[in-house]
Every structure is written in structure tokens, then in C-alpha cells.
Amino acid sequence: MTLRLIINGQAQEIALPDSRLTLLDLLRDHLQLTGAKKGCDRGQCGACTVLVNGRRVTGCLTLAATLEGAEVLTIEGLSSGADLHPMQQAFLDHDALQCGFCTPGQIMSAVALMAEGETGADPDRVREALSGNLCRCGAHPGIVAAVCSVLGEQG
């Protein structure tokens, strides 16, 4: 089947090689967008988080074939030009990563929080809202601080 969708602002028409292809595999293996990571491949770690029509989804549990006409945003499409997205900059400022494997998913999830209207620097609320994104390096304190710093500016 042919799939038409918008990825990072660009219209794409893709001949799907397999109707069972996941969004994560489409991005990584066919479009060379390797920012979203494959951690567990079963919806448990959040490393594959991207936005579909403004909402965060796990790419490993989303069938690409269901996305006709959808708008997909990945970490590669987050910044404009040389300027980092405020959430990316906050992760740098707060040293919110170690190996970086979970970082694209953490950032996309945090960006979705902003789109969901979340405001205010409430660490407990941020921890709960990002509980689907695991960090095996234990960088959660920095991650929470980074997200709170951005949400605090909005609150």
C-alpha cells in the first residue's frame, strides 16, 4: 500500500513494504530518521516516543499503515535551523542525560506535555507525566529539572 503523511513538515508518499511495519521501523530503517530509539520494542520504555498529530505515541506500537494523512514530528524536526527547541536547550543546561539513548523520547514526551497545556514547575506532576519514559542511566533528576524549568516559564 501507499502511505501519504507529513513527517517533520515534509509531505511524504511511501510505498510500504509490509503492512505490519511499525512507525518506529519506518522512521529508522526506511527514512533514516534514527533519533527515535528502539529500546524494548514492546511499549515499555518510551525510547521511541514521537508525536502524531501533536500527541505522543510509542512508535514501536504504532502501525505505520494507520497513519494515512497524519502529521508526525520526530526529534529531527523539533528545532528550526541552528536554534534548539527550548526543551532541547533545557536538557543541555540541566545536564539531563548520560548515554543519551532515552533522550529523544524524553524530549518529545516533554514537548507533548507543553502541547497538552501543562504549565508550572511541579516536579511530582512532571515525574508522573513522564513516567512512561525510562532512563536506565538514572538521569531522572536532571530530566525533571529541565522540564520544570521550561514549564515554569510557561506557568
Q: How far is the CB of 77 from ligand FES (least distance, A)?
A: 19
Min separation Cβ 71 and ligand FES, Å: 20
In the complex, minimum distance from the CB of residue 109 to ligand FES, in angstroms, rounded to a whole number? 11
Q: Measured from the CB atom, is 34 or 119 closer to ligand FES? A: 34
Cα dist from 100 to 62, 92, 105, 126, whole Å: 23, 11, 10, 19
- Return the SS3 of 123: helix
**Residue 41 backbone class (left: φ over 0; alpha: ψ -120 to 50; beta: rest):** left
- Please provide the DSSP assignment of 77-102 as one string: GSSBTTBPPHHHHHHHHTT--SS-SS
Q: Smaller CB distance to ligand FES: residue 40 or 115? A: 40
The burial of 7, by beta-carbon neighbours within 10 Å (0-12 exposed, 13-18 middle, 19 or more buried), is given as: buried
* Closest to ligand FES by CB, 119 or 137: 137
Q: How far is the CB of 144 from ligand FES (least distance, A)?
A: 13
Instruction: List contacts with ligand FES (CB under 6 A).
Output: 38-41, 43-48, 58, 60, 97-103, 135-137, 139
**Cell numbers at residue 38, please?**
528502539
Q: Give 131 or 154: the residue with its C-beta nearer to ligand FES.
A: 131
